[in-house]
Amino acid sequence: MQGWQIAGIYADDGYTGLNMNRPDLQRMLEDFFPMNGVRYIAINDAVDTEKDNNDLAPIKNVFNEMYSKDISRKVHSSYMVKAKKGKFTGCLAPFGYRKSEADKYHLEIDPETAWIVRKIFDYAVEGHGSNYIRRRFEKEKIACPTWWNRNKGLRNTYTKHEKADPENGKYIWDFSVIEDMLQNPVYYGAIASQRFVYRFKLGVIREKNPDEWIVVENQHEPIVYRNTFFTVQNLIRKRQHPVNWEF
């Protein structure tokens, strides 16, 4: 309408506007602003770097940040309500489960991968740790969750092992992935929420202790028995620091 030609489009879908490390934002900054002979126009905010009408821009930035902080509080409050009701609010279902088509907050067992979870807990009950399990899976050629998610069209990412060895990397599991699975109450039918401390603009700053989680039991079909899960927790506790699992 103005006779302008679009030279490029910068879009960071899925990133918060407060994240200054967004890939397309960084790409735009490399291409941008008067020092590079580029004119910046923000139509909604009436900003034009070719004109002297930008005095309110800093004030608008303050209001935008206040608005973002308010939205962040409201979103957190909404998640807290769902957490206390035992609703699953994650973007991706835990490995071994899938989101119900009828209710995205409810989990169903994924028959393609649940057997792998049971195998992990079987090894753990026998007294084996995560390093043993990851070595066995590599030997038995059991693909890691990242490969399964990509194969199912849920994600398009690769682990560092897959990148280094495209043929066999998918069989190498990260230690931390197995550790997290073994301690996740989701596998005995509970929903554990609020597992991390989150700060506005900073994101996740630390993982909470298990006794700080919001745990609601009997929310979906378990993959392992409850007593199996807590047997594993006792074994982990003996190898590591004490953990209070009294829910």
Q: Which pLDDT does position 49 carry in this prediction?
A: 64
Q: Which pLDDT does position 84 carry in this prediction?
A: 85
Rg of the chain in Å (alpha carbons) = 23
Question: pTM above the 0.85 mark?
Answer: no
Q: Which pLDDT does position 145 carry in this prediction?
A: 97
Element (H, E) at 5: none
Q: Which pLDDT does position 21 carry in this prediction?
A: 74
E-only strand ranges, 168-228: 191-193, 196-199, 203-207, 214-216
C-alpha distances in Å from residue 76, one per residue of 35, 43, 69, 81, 163: 40, 31, 11, 9, 35
Q: For residues 108 and 66, what is the distance between their CA atoms, to the nearest angstrom?
A: 39
Q: For residues 216 and 85, what is the distance between their CA atoms, to the nearest angstrom?
A: 7
Other CB atoms within a 10 A radius of the CB of residue 116 amount to 20
Q: Are the C-beta atoms of residues 194 and 213 closer than 8 Å to each other?
A: yes
Q: For residues 86 and 109, what is the distance between their CA atoms, to the nearest angstrom?
A: 17
Question: What interhelical angle do 226-239 and 114-125 show, nearest 10?
Answer: 50
Q: Which pLDDT does position 170 carry in this prediction?
A: 97
Question: Residue ranges of the chain with pLDDT lower than 50?
Answer: 243, 245, 247
What DSSP state is assigned to residue 110? Answer: -
Give the burial string for 87-110 (b: 16+ CB within 10 Å, else e). bbeeeebbbbbbbeeeeeebbbeb
- Check if CATH label 3.90.1750.20 holds for domain 90-239: yes
Strand 97-99 relative to strand 107-109, pairing: antiparallel
Q: Which pLDDT does position 247 carry in this prediction?
A: 46
For residue 16 the two structure tokens come to: 């918060």
Q: What is the pLDDT of residues 10-68, one digit of tens each?
A: 888 777 666 667 888 788 777 776 566 666 676 666 667 666 655 555 556 555 666 66
Q: Residue 170's closest CA among 116, 231, 216?
A: 116
For residue 139 the two structure tokens come to: 């030997």
